[in-house]
Amino acid sequence: MILVTGGAGFIGSNFVLDWLAQHDEPVINLDKLTYAGNLSNLESIQQDGRHTFVHGDIGDRSLVSSLLEKHKIRAIVHFAAESHVDRSILGPGEFITTNVNGTFSLLEAARAYWSALPDKEKADFRFLHVSTDEVYGSLGPNDAPFSETTPYAPNSPYSASKAAADHLVRAYHHTYGLPTLTTNCSNNYGPYHFPEKLIPLMIANALGGKPLPIYGDGQNVRDWLYVGDHCAAIRRVLESGTTGETYNIGGWNEKTNLEVVHTLCDILDQLAPKTGSYRDQITYVKDRPGHDRRYAIDARKVERELGWKPAETFDTGIRKTVQWYLDHQEWVRGVLSGDYLKWVEKNYGQREQGVAA
């Protein structure tokens, strides 16, 4: 079996669904079910005997150790993390607790379990840590994309906490020999994305007739990766990646935030037309502190060594994503309540509104 941490979150749940569609190997899914963890993401496999959900914390070492031992886990795929930059600015403590201390605790449990395995199982064991391109900092407009050798320069509490986790994973390989793998991905998008991030927030607000808030001038650049492509890359790295190595996973799709929102509005104008254009709802809000200007991923290593490259272009992936949200309005309504509404008001309600574009 494999153990997936954070498997009820956005990328984690997509990975679990993708894994069970591709493999018969069972999954133990450990998730604390914080605000972004949503069991309805996994509703389609609720009766699937290959999937076992465990409500728990990666920081609970005794729980993790018992799961590893009981289920004879042969690989850990570690998604569990606090992941939203804005939340890390307002409350960095939870990011240190989960991303740094939680990863440390998970590594300790994995090391103890792995050390006691028979030689063959020990050689086959893997600890795959899923990280982010944000650990590398910000790029200028003409800088080369991030590679696996780009120096770390995190600029937010979120990216600093992920950088710390990356360093711990690296250290456990080099010090103890734990067979680790690290992936650093660009911005994911797709089904089951919690609507505090740019793309799902814009879709939800557009359909709800609300403003579409864009930070600053909207010219911040991100590389966009369809979540299904990311899941395929992780499966490939887990299968054949070289232990101790890092693999950057990107979509080769650099877009400004404004370009992304314009694309979303234009697709919605086609698929869910209303009077006027959804572009009319665009507003500009005060930029967030320390907002990185540009991210870009050089994903040639994973293609060269493991034969992976994204199957989706931004145009095909974003259209699939918009259609999914239109087809799953009940899921969206279930998420748009309680803490989420309070968070949106806290984060955007206090920002200065600019002139609509």
Of 113, 158, 226, 278, the active-site residue reads: 158
Report how far Cα 24 is from the mean position of its chain's Cα atoms.
Answer: 24
Selecting among 57, 82, 133, 229, the annotated active-site residue is 133
Hey, what are 102's tokens?
A: 């939680």
Report yes or no: 312 and 240 within 8 Å, Cβ to Cβ: no
Instruction: Let me know: does 273 contact 207? Beta carbons within 8 Å.
Output: no
Cα separation values, 20 from 169, 276, 325, Å = 26, 43, 22
Count of C-beta atoms within a 10 Å radius of residue 274: 12
Judge whether 266 counts as a catalytic residue. Answer: no
* Catalytic status, residue 215: no
> Has 143 been annotated as catalytic?
no
String of DSSP letters for 256-296: EHHHHHHHHHHHHHHHS--SS-GGGGEEEEPPPTT---B--
With a CB cutoff of 8 Å and minimum separation 6, the contacts of 200 are 189, 193, 194, 325
The catalytic position among 31, 57, 86, 134 is 134
Catalytic (active-site) positions: 133-134, 158
